[in-house]
Structure formats: structure tokens, C-alpha cells
Amino acid sequence: MSARTGGAKRARRGGGPGGARIAWLPVLAVAFLLVFGFYPLPWRVPGHPALWAEHARFWAGASLLTLGPVLALAAVDLPWLHAAPSWLLRALRRPPPLAFAAVVVVVFTGLAVWVSWYVSGFAPVTGGEVAQVFHARLLAQGHVALPADPHWEFFAVDSVIPRRGWFSPSPLGGPAVLALGFLIRAPWLLYPLLGGVTAAALYQFARRACGEAQGRVAAVLFSVTAMPLLVAAGYTNHVPTLLLSVTALMLVAEWERAERVGIRRWCAAGIGLAIGATIAVRPLDGLVVAGAIGVFQLVVATGDEQSRWKELGAEVAGGVVGLAPLLLLGWGGPGGAWHFAYGAPWGAAHSPGFPFGVADTLAAPLRADLHAAQLVSALNFQVAGWALPALLVAGLGILAMRRTSPWDALLFGLFGALVLACGVYTPAAGMADARLLYTALPALLVVLARTPFLVAERWGGYWRHGAPLAALALVGVAWLVPMPPYGALGLVQAARASGAPARLGLSAAVREAGVKHAVVFIHQPFSMRLQRRLWGLGFSRSEAESLLRHSDACSLLDAVTLGEADSLLVPSAIAAHAATYAPGALPIRAADPEIRISSPASLTPACRAALALDAQYGSMPFAAGLVQETVGPDGRPGGDIVYVADLGTHNAALRARFGDRAWYRAWTERRPDGSVVARVAPY
């Protein structure tokens, strides 16, 4: 920190962020990590101890075989090895700040683009990603949402709500940012690029908070850590959320050190804008960031000789501007201004509170704690793939701190607050997805980047070169030693395995088949065909799933056909026509495991034909087509090629609407080498 800055002046006085010493903070932070990340809470999550034991075996074995030898070699009198960390650090510090930031952006973007191509071939993978990409395409085409489609069963996916109008269940901010990618015709590039900019912003923040060297190491660490790369390689709204929150942190650092009121005011307005926009993308994360930064700013404003209260007014104004697009779009759209869109699919159940799902029999607050512990454990497993738990390394770094500053308090507070907030977040209950804590990642990575410095400073001697060599070994081994399913490479490979359905190559198959002005029916398995047709008859998703699970599929097919022929039949009457599944001596085993047929006597000609379709054609997720849908002038799918789910005989319902188009069928085929590819042929 420059001697000219306000922060430095306060540091000399010992009262400001740079100079304060908070003795109890490391103890509290380590205790928090211990309780939520190691013991006892993770061990009380049902089913979790086995997962923990498996990872503990990996950490023990991998550190014994990789980290241990490096630490042993560090004890040998090898001058070149001892000098290597210093040499690397000097090389890292050589470029001027702007050049370094540019290199970080390019490197991160390049790596994330490669990961995106490798994992999914640039396609969205999860339901959430599909929904956001679909919604971003709508926004890019000028639609906040589409009107409800009369044949919505042909277009629905789990994460898109087409019944009361088409939109994604995510707040509009995420798809709005992603729409920029469609406007520049490179959606695959946008999030890797935003990830790269995040790395640069993190550098700017960390150099102000911790010093130039540690700031650069933090940025490099962000760029070579598995989790940021994997998240930036996808299409979730975590990417813009993180960029906006790190931007807010970066501006806080500038606001804290700036002496001129004008600069501080602009910084404050920028902080407000970034936080408001964060709320527009991920409301809960934005509120946590706002809380953590707000408390920090209040502490600074209270302790400063100069009045800073007016600047906070600019910040509030900035926040309103940042949040306004969400409120306006939501107001005009189907979700409602204060609904943040989530309420549409989930209703009142989707609100912060004590979640239900992790361990239903426990008291509510403990349930929330267990969910939080589950998330922290998941972060520990998935953040970097190191041979040691990342939280253990962070704890070591915190213990090695000789002094803790309000910057540390801000980072610890951000991490802790997000963990607790996610713990009480109802819809997330049961989801052990570390990405829910993604907004707190900078706090963790800054501490991890500082750990070698802190350990070297605290214990000196051997640790001056031993600690940085160990850190290099952790990162290097994670990427260079393939230990699937462990390590950074293992995490990337696991993501690739789950991204396999997204790499089927539907677009290429459509191009190859020379499809023009057509409707493409994407083959769905028998069970999904039944469920979709039930949705079209007025069944909710859970009702349709339950009916399928308990019914004889052939009799259910007859009931559905009956319902479609007689529009007066209500769902309960249709359900009454379906026979309950009662396996006889010779139950039929279909290729689709969700299909249950009681006995050969149930097999009607229609049912045989439906089963034969599954034998002939491999199924394909409809999401592959949905994300390529183009909106026509009437606000409905109507591009040159329209993708719909193949619902067998029910496809005739589309004859009037798409009768002028050529009909094609898309399905998957397994090659002799085991890979699965998309195929398209006339229907």
C-alpha cells in the first residue's frame, strides 16, 4: 500500500484496515472451518461419512506420495531447488501491473475455453444451464418471455417453465448477461472471458489488500484452480455473480485508500452498481456481498477522520441503478418484480428458511447447519483437487497469520456469511453443489495464495523454500498427475463424463442431413413420451412421474390416448383408466428402466410399437434442441428449423401447425468404438 494513501496513514496510526490487529479472528475462522468443514458437522450428514472417508484416503495417500517427497527434497541441500520459488516470484513480478492483468485475462480465458470445449463441446450441460441459455436466446431476440405454447408438452424441459409463459427459473440478470454472448455471436466465449476479467479484478483487489506479490499469486491461483475454470466453462449465472462481487471488492479497496472525495464517491457509486447488479443475477449472493461490504465500509467510515457518509448515499443510488433492470424486467415479465422469477416454479417453498431435505428428522437449525457443512465439504472436495484439503491449507495459513486486518475480516465474513446463508436456503437443501459457495471463492483463494508467504514468514528457515515448493507441488500434481477421479484432471474428466449428452453433435447432424424449413422430432424414451403427454393433459410433473411409477405402462399409454381423444376427460379420470403395475410371473423388462409392464398380457399393439421405437432409436435429451430454438414473429418457436420432442402418435397434434414443413427425426446411435452420436433422417 502506498505511503500516500489514506489506508497507509491509518495503518501507521494502527486504526485503519491496514494496521488493525484482531487477535480473536484467526481462532474464530479456523474454528468455523473445523466445525463446518471437518468435524463434527460433516460427519453427521447422512451418507456423508463414507464420502469423507474416501476423500480422506485420497488426501492421505496422495499427500504421502506427492507432497511428502517434495517436502523431503526441500530438505536436501539443493541450492537451485531452494531458489526456484524466489526465481518464479521474481518472474511473476516482472511485468507491469496492466500487462500482468492482461496476461491473466488471456490465460484464464484460453484455459476456460479449452475446458468448455473438452467438457461439453461448448454446449450447456445441466438443466440450469439449458434454461439460462434458452432464456438468454429469448432476450437476445428481444423477448423477456414467450407466451404459453398450446403444445407445451413438445417443448418443455425440467428447468424451463412453458406453461404460464416460457422463461427460465433464474433471475433475469443471469440470462441478460449471457444474452450479450448471443449478441456478439460467441456465447461460448463470454463466460470464459468474464472469468478472465474476474481474475484480473481479483488481482487488483488482492494487491491492494495484501500486497503486490500476494495479489499476483492470488490471480495466478485463480487461473489454475479447477473450480473457477470449470464454472467459467459452463453457462451458470455464478460467473457474472463472481465478476460483479469481485468488482465490488476491488472498488472497496480503491474507495478505502482514495484520499480525494470525488474518487471515493465514484468508487462508492461503482460498488453500489456492482452489488445491485449482483443481486439482479443471484439475489442471495448479492445480499451476502452487500452485507459483508456494508459492515466493512461502516467500520471504515466510523473510524475515519474524514466524513464518508455522503459517499454511501452515492453507493445506495448505484445499487438502485444496478438492481433496476431486474425489477423492471421482472415487473413486465411473468415472474413479478419482487419474485426474482424463482417463485414461479417453486412458490412459497422457495425462500430462505430452514431447509427440508438433508436430514428431515433433525431440528430445523441443525438441519441448516448440516446443509451448510455439506456445502463446505463439497467445496473442500471440488475446489482444486489438491493432495491436501484446500480448507486445511487455508486453516494453516490463517494460523500462521501474525496479524489480521479488517481486510481479512471482510474475506472471512464474506465466506462465513455465504455458508450460513446457503445453509438456510430452502431449495438448495440436499444439493451438495459447491458452486453455491462460488461467490465466496475469492476469500478462500486469497487465503490459499497467502499461505506459503504466511508460513514462510511465521516459521522461517526450511519453510522459506519448503512452503512455496509445497504449494507448487499441490497445484502441479493436481494438473499433471492423472489420478481419476481425483485431482484437477479428475474433476475435469468427471465433468466431461457428465457432459457427454451435450456433445452428441445435433447441429452437425442437422447440417449434414441438409435440413431446411423443417421440424425435427427429437427421440425421447417411452417413459418421457408418456410423461410429456401427461403434462399436456394437465398433470403436474410430480403427478405424471408418480403415475408412471405406479402404473402398467401399456395401460397408461391407452389411458393417455383416450385422454387426448376426449378433451372432456379430467386428469383424475384419465388416471383411473391406467391399471396399477402388478408384476406377474413374467414381468416385461423394457430397454427403458422407467417402464414397468405387469405381464405379456398387457402388451397391446400400440404398446409394442412404442417399445419397438425405443429398440430402434436411441434417445436424446430435448435440451439439445431447445437451446437452438429460434423465435418466430408470433412469439413462438418458428425459425427455419423447429425442434420438438418426439411423442410418437401424439406428433399428429402438430400436423396443422407444422404441416408445411419437412419432418425429420433425430436420435442417437452408438458407434462401434462406444461413442454416441446424433443422427438425423426424414421422419
Partner 1 sequence: MRTVREWWRDEEQPVTLAVAAIVLVGALGRLALLNGPMRHDEAASYLQVISQPWASVIAGYQLPLNHLLYTLAAKLSGALGGDAPWALRLPAFAAGVAVLPLTYALGSARYDRTAAMFGTALAAAATPLVLYSVNGRGYIFVVVAYLGLLLVGDRILRDGPIAGRWVAFAFIAAAGLVTMPLMLYPLGAAVTWIALSALASRQPRPWRVLAGLAGAVAAAGVIAVLAYAPILRAHGLDTLVTNPAVAPVPWPEFFAQLLPSLARAVGSWAEPYPLAGAIVLGVVAVVGVARDGRHRRGGVSILLAAYVWAAVLMCVQHHMPPGRAWLWVVPPLALAAGGALASLGRHRRAARLVTWLPGIATALAAACVTWGSLSGAVGRSMDTGVFAGAADIADLLATQVQPGDRVEVSGPSGAPLRYYLLRAGADTAMLAAPDSGTLREILVLNARYGQTVPWAIAGGLIDTARFGPIAPATHAIDGNVYIAERRMNRP
Between 71 and 312, name the residue whose CB sits nearer to partner 1: 71
Q: Please choose, out of 77-85, 114-122, 538-546, 672-680, the segment that lies near partner 1 by the rule CB under 8 A.
A: 77-85
User: Sign of dihedral through CA atoms 211, 216, 219, 221?
Assistant: negative
Q: Is the CB of 75 or the CB of 652 nearer to partner 1? A: 75
Angle at which helices 309-332 and 261-281 pack, to 10 degrees?
Answer: 30
- Give the SS3 label for residue 229: helix
Query: Closest CB to partner 1 among 206 and 384?
Result: 384
Parallel, antiparallel or unpaired: strands 518-523 and 662-670: parallel
β-strand pairing of 596-597 with 588-589: antiparallel
Instruction: Indicate whether 332 belongs to the interface with partner 1 (CB under 8 A).
Output: no
Residues 490-529 as x/- pattern, contact with partner 1 by CB under 8 A: x---------------------------------------
Which residue, among 282, 404, 342, has the nearest Cα to 290 in the 3D structure?
282
Does the footprint of partner 1 cover residue 54 (CB under 8 A)? Answer: yes
- The smaller minimum CB distance to partner 1, of residues 448 and 473, is found at 473
| Closer of 63 and 551 to partner 1 (Cβ) | 63
* Residue 580 β-bridge partners: 551
Minimum CB–partner distance for residue 81 and partner 1 (Å) = 9
Among residues 27, 39, 49, 60, which is the contact residue for partner 1, using CB under 8 A? 60
Give the residue, chosen from 35, 148, 316, 481, that forms a contact with partner 1 under the rule CB under 8 A: 481
Residue 148 DSSP code:
P
For 36, which DSSP code?
Answer: I
Sole binder of partner 1 in the list 3, 23, 76, 91 (CB under 8 A): 76
| Among 27, 31, 73, 183, contact with partner 1 (rule: CB under 8 A) | 73
C-alpha 249/C-alpha 410 separation (Å) is 9
**CB burial readout 31-57, b (16+ within 10 A) else e:** ebbebbbbeebbebbeebeebbeeeee
Nearest to partner 1 of 177, 478 (CB atom): 478
Which of 116, 382 has the CB closer to partner 1? 382
Neighbours of 605 (CB within 10 A): 8
Q: Is 256 exposed, middle or buried (0-12, 13-18, 19+ CB in 10 A)?
A: buried
Minimum distance, C-beta of residue 620 to partner 1, in the bound complex (Å) = 30
Count of residues that interact with partner 1, criterion CB under 8 A: 24
From 75, 364, 573, 681, residue interacting with partner 1 (rule: CB under 8 A):
75
For residue 371, give the C-alpha cell: 446443509
Dihedral sign for Cα 280, 282, 287, 288, please.
Answer: negative
What span, in angstroms and rounded, lies between the C-alpha atoms of 676 and 584?
35
634 binds partner 1 (CB under 8 A): no
With CB under 8 A as the contact rule, the residue among 68, 95, 97, 571 that binds partner 1 is 68
Name the grid cell of 617. 432409436
Q: Which is closer to partner 1, CB of 60 or CB of 184?
A: 60
Selected binder of partner 1 within 14, 49, 484, 600 (CB under 8 A): 484
Stretch that binds partner 1, among 69-77, 180-188, 249-257, 656-664 (CB under 8 A): 69-77
Peptide bond into 42 cis (omega under 30): no
Site residues (vs partner 1, CB under 8 A): 54, 57-58, 60-62, 64-66, 68-69, 72-73, 75-79, 481, 483-486, 490
